[in-house]
Structure formats: C-alpha cells, structure tokens
Amino acid sequence: MTEAVIFDLDGVTVDSRGAWTESFKQAAQKFGFEYSEELDHLTRGVGVIKSAENLTAHYKIPEKETQFLNATKTAFNNLFAQKVTLMPGLLELLGRLDKKYNLALASSSPRFVLSENFTKFPQLTAYFEVSIAGDEVERTKPSPDIFLLAARRLEVDPEKCLVIEDSPTGVVAAKAAGMKCIGLLDAGPKKQDISKADKQVERLDEIDAEMISNL
C-alpha cells in the first residue's frame, strides 16, 4: 500500500525544460559549440552538475567543466524568473494527494535550484514535507540514492513509495529504489522512453489516489 508520493522537479513540478535548454545553448556558444535536442540524453534528468560533466566530455573540453557549469548557472538564473512556471494541474494534484499521502520533492538539481523554486512558488512548501537535492547524495539519477534518501526522511519504506517522473533516468532510479513509478510523457513531439514506468500519463490531471492505489 502506497504511503508516500515523491515528485521530480524539472518537468513534473515545474516546467523548466525550455529554460535549461536555452541555458545549455548559451553556455555551449561561449565555448564555440552548439547544443541541440540530439544531446538531450546527456542532460535530461541528471541535474546541471552532471549535465555540465557530460557535455564537456562530449565537446572534448573536460578541463573546462567548472567554467561551463558556471556559464550554465548564470544563463539559467537570468532565464528563471521569466521562463519557469508550475506544471499545469500540479497544485490541483497536490491538493488531491495531500491528505492521503506523505509528499516529497526529489531532484537531481542542486539545492540552489530547489531554493529558487521554493522562493518563486512558496505555495509548494505547504505540500512537500521534505526535499532532496542532487548535491546532497553521492550519486544522482539513474542511481536510486535521491529517492532512497527521500524515503528515509519521510520515514516510509521504499516499497511503499511512488515516484512521478518524466525522464528515463528518473524512472530507472525510481525502479532501482524498489518504488512504483508513474511516468509523465513529454508534451512535445519528441517523446522520452519512459516505458519502464508502471504507468504512463500525458497530464498530471490524470493522476489520482485511485490510480496510485491500483499500481
């Protein structure tokens, strides 16, 4: 029986993909490279720190990882206020689940990103009992560490947790943690492979307690 629901941040709680894509593009341009959707697999669901590591390895400039990371952070900070919004149906879903489950936020993004989101969207603090950032664990997704830490802080057994994720790495991490997983499909034409999720939905408003209890 599910006792806790754990939400991913980017692409599930907030619509931030456009801001991150533009940030990676701007950072890549500073170093004379191009970032395109074909490189999404290097950045999707792994957090900005791992993304910088992956991209600088791809561009064969690993010695400039720190500078690339800082350029990405700067670009994202400039775009955050204007481009990042709450996902459609999020607050309604949180309201439906709040009285029935313990709720947590678990993201591969570093703590500063979570803090910025809680500042911009203070209503989120009323729902999430705990939040876990990618720089608070040794290994980020697709390793299960983030979700296992969320379960420990919620004091709920992993097998009684359900994760809502939108990325392949997040789904793999949830299943590796021994948790059930609902995969949220991309709204755009280029779908991520989240077939390992126990259930796939196209919108958050499809999710309710009955769906969760039936998994």
Catalytic site residues? 8
Pairing of strands 180-184, 161-165: parallel
The token duo for 175 is 């299943």
Query: Residue type for 29, please?
Result: Q
Q: List strand residue ranges (DSSP E) for the chain, in order.
A: 4-7, 14-15, 85-86, 102-106, 130-132, 161-165, 180-184, 199-201
Query: Residue type for 203, please?
Result: R
Pairing of strands 161-165, 4-7: parallel
* DSSP character at residue 59: T
Nearest CA to 87 among 208, 184, 195? 184
Cβ(45)–Cβ(169) below 8 Å? yes
Tokens 């769906």, residue? 211
